[in-house]
Structure 1
Amino acid sequence: MKKLGWYSELNSRERRTYWACFGGLALDSMDSTIFALVMPVLIVTLGITQGEAGILGSVALVGSAIGGWGAGMLADRYGRVRLLQTTVLWVAFSTLMAGACSEFWQFFIVRALQGIGYGGEAAVGAVLISETVVPRLRGRVAASVQSGYAVGYGVSVMAMPLIFALAPEHLAWRFFFAIGVLPALFVWIIRRLVVESDVFQESRKTVSVRQDAPDFRAIFRGPLLRVTVTSTLLASGVLGGAYVMITWLPTYLRMSLGLPMASTAGYLAVNILGSLAGPFIYGLLSDRVGRGKCFMLFLLLQAINVSVYIFYPLNPSVTLTLGFLLGLLQAGLASGLTPTFAELYPTAIRASGAGFCTSFGRGIGSIVPALVGILSTNMPLGSAMGLCAICAYAVGFIAASILPDATGVDMASQANANDLGTGTKSNPNSASEQPNH
Structure 2
Amino acid sequence: MSTATDRVVPIEDTSLTGFYNGMTAAERRTFWACATGWALDGMDFMIYPLVIGTIIALWKVDAGTAGLAGTVTLLASAFGGWAAGYLADRIGRVRTLQFTIIWFSLFSLLCAFAQNFEQLLVLRALLGLGFGGEWAAGAVLMGETIRAEYRGRAVGSVQSGWAVGWGLAVLAQAALFSLLPADQAWRWMFAIGALPALLVLYLRAYVKEPEVAAATRAKVAAAGDSPSILEIFQGPILKTTILASLVATGCQGGYYAITFWVPRFLTTERKLSIVSSTGYLAALIIGSFVGYLVGAWYADRFGRRNLFLVFSLGAMVVVAAYTQLPLSNELLWLLGFPLGFFASGYFSGMGAFLTELYPTRLRGSGQGFCYNFGRGIGALFPFLVGYLSQITSLATAICLFALFAYALFFVAAYALPETRGKVLHADA
**Is 2:343 aligned against 1:330?**
yes
Q: Tell me which residue corresponds to 2:272.
A: 259
Q: Tell me which residue corresponds to 1:190.
A: 203
CA distance in 2, matches of 1:302, 1:187: 35
Which residues of 2 match residues 56-205 of structure 1 at below 5 A?
A: 56-205=69-218
CA contact (8 A) 2:16 2:296 kept: no
Q: What is the CA distance between 1:91 and its match in structure 2?
A: 1.2
Which residues of 2 match residues 347-358 of structure 1 at below 5 A?
A: 347-358=360-371
CA distance in 1, matches of 2:189, 2:295: 32
CA contact (8 A) 1:52 1:104 kept: no
Deviation per residue, 1:280-308 (Å, 9 max, x gap): 21121121222112101100010001011
Q: What is the CA distance between 1:394 and its match in structure 2?
A: 0.6
Q: Tell me which residue corresponds to 2:5.
A: none
The one-letter amino acid paired with 2:264 is: T
The one-letter amino acid paired with 1:98 is: C
Count of residues in correspondence between the two structures: 414
The one-letter amino acid paired with 2:253 is: G
The one-letter amino acid paired with 2:410 is: F
Q: Secondary structure at the match of 1:145?
A: helix
Q: Tell me which residue corresponds to 1:43.
A: 56
CA contact (8 A) 2:153 2:299 kept: yes
Between 308-317 and 333-342, the greater mean CA deviation after superposition:
333-342
Of the candidates 309, 313, 316, which is equivalent to residue 329 of structure 2? 316
TM-score (structure 2 length as normaliser): 0.94
CA distance in 2, matches of 1:383, 1:245: 11
Q: What is the CA distance between 1:11 and its match in structure 2?
A: 1.2
Q: Secondary structure at the match of 2:422?
A: coil
Alpha-carbon RMSD across the aligned residues, in angstroms, is: 1.4
Which residues of 2 match residues 1-40 of structure 1 at below 5 A?
A: 4-40=17-53
Q: What is the CA distance between 1:10 and its match in structure 2?
A: 1.1
Q: Tell me which residue corresponds to 2:12.
A: none
Deviation per residue, 1:372-420 (Å, 9 max, x gap): 11111110110011011001111111101101222221112xx22xx4x
CA distance in 2, matches of 1:173, 1:256: 22
Deviation per residue, 1:35-78 (Å, 9 max, x gap): 11111111111212101111111111101111110100000000
Q: What is the CA distance between 1:331 and its match in structure 2?
A: 1.8
The one-letter amino acid paired with 1:274 is: G
The one-letter amino acid paired with 1:174 is: R
CA distance in 1, matches of 2:230, 2:243: 16
Question: Cα 1:3–1:122, aligned 2, differ >3 Å: closer, same or farther?
Answer: closer
CA distance in 2, matches of 1:145, 1:3: 13
CA distance in 1, matches of 2:242, 2:31: 29
CA distance in 2, matches of 1:7, 1:236: 31
CA contact (8 A) 1:16 1:194 kept: yes
Relative CO higher for 1 or 2, CA cutoff 8 Å, sep ≥ 6?
A: 2
CA distance in 2, matches of 1:33, 1:219: 31
Q: Tell me which residue corresponds to 1:366.
A: 379
CA distance in 1, matches of 2:274, 2:413: 38
Q: What is the CA distance between 1:316 and its match in structure 2?
A: 3.0
**Is 2:229 aligned against 1:208?**
no
CA distance in 1, matches of 2:380, 2:190: 25
Q: What is the CA distance between 1:338 and its match in structure 2?
A: 3.0
CA contact (8 A) 1:227 1:404 kept: no
Between 298-307 and 107-116, the greater mean CA deviation after superposition:
107-116
Q: What is the CA distance between 1:29 and its match in structure 2?
A: 1.4
TM-score (structure 1 length as normaliser): 0.92
Between 346-355 and 362-371, the greater mean CA deviation after superposition:
362-371
Identity %: 43
**Is 2:420 aligned against 1:407?**
yes
Of the candidates 269, 278, 292, which is equivalent to residue 282 of structure 2? 269
Of the candidates 241, 251, 254, which is equivalent to residue 238 of structure 1? 251
The one-letter amino acid paired with 1:223 is: P
CA distance in 2, matches of 1:340, 1:215: 22
The one-letter amino acid paired with 2:42 is: S
Q: Secondary structure at the match of 1:263?
A: coil
Q: What is the CA distance between 1:322 and its match in structure 2?
A: 1.9
Deviation per residue, 1:111-137 (Å, 9 max, x gap): 111111111111111111110111011
